[in-house]
């Protein structure tokens, strides 16, 4: 599925939840359980994303020209948010990630659900994922002799 298709899928999932804020937050907490287990030794200072109130660790690896993200957090709501981002952006080529327009966040009204502090944190997570993509792209281009 393309980035856009997955985003549309998420939007329709949130539409089913309707307007009840509490159920939406419970749902976000619940989906965080789908995150791949994060290696404990990677829960270190250098992997923490700056700009998040809660702790968020993010690491990335490249395989066959695609980027694989792993992330974790000390709060359940944040875990759910990262899970959504990873679901959309994982195992894709760097340029796809760099140019991804993550319109699902606005479409599901995430800002209104999670509030301004967490929205800033979410923006910081996206920025960090795109920075990883940019770094891998530069590295891949260099090794391809471009």
Q: Using CB under 8 A as the criterion, which residues of the chain lie in contact with other proteins when the complex forms?
A: 19, 21-22, 24-26, 29, 53-54, 74-77, 114-115, 118
Q: In whole angstroms, give the CA distance from residue 112 to residue 114.
A: 6
Hey, is 61 helix, strand or coil?
strand
> In the bound complex, what is the minimum distance in angstroms from residue 26's beta carbon to other proteins?
7
**Catalytic residue status for 52:** yes
Would you say 47 or 78 has its CB closer to other proteins? 78
Would you say 54 or 120 has its CB closer to other proteins? 54
> In the bound complex, what is the minimum distance in angstroms from residue 37's beta carbon to other proteins?
18
Residue 108's nearest CA partner among 1, 8, 4, 32 is 8
DSSP H or E run through 68:
strand 66-73
Which member of 3, 10, 28, 52 is catalytic? 52
> How many helices (DSSP H) and strands (DSSP E) are in the chain?
6, 2
> In the bound complex, what is the minimum distance in angstroms from residue 118's beta carbon to other proteins?
8
Active-site positions read: 52
């Amino acid at each position: 599925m393309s980035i856009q298709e997955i985003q549309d899928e998420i939007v329709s999932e949130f539409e089913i939840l309707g307007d009840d804020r509490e159920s939406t937050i419970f749902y976000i907490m619940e989906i965080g359980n789908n995150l791949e287990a994060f290696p404990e030794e990677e829960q270190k200072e250098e992997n923490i994303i700056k700009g998040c109130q809660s702790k968020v660790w993010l690491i990335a690896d490249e395989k066959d020209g695609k980027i694989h993200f792993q992330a974790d957090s000390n709060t359940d709501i944040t875990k759910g948010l990262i899970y959504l981002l990873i679901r959309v952006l994982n195992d894709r080529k760097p340029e796809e990630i760099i140019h991804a327009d993550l319109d699902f966040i606005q479409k599901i009204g995430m800002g209104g659900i999670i509030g301004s502090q967490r929205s800033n944190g979410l923006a910081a997570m996206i920025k960090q994922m795109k920075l990883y993509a940019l770094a891998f792209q530069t590295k891949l281009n260099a090794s391809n002799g471009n």
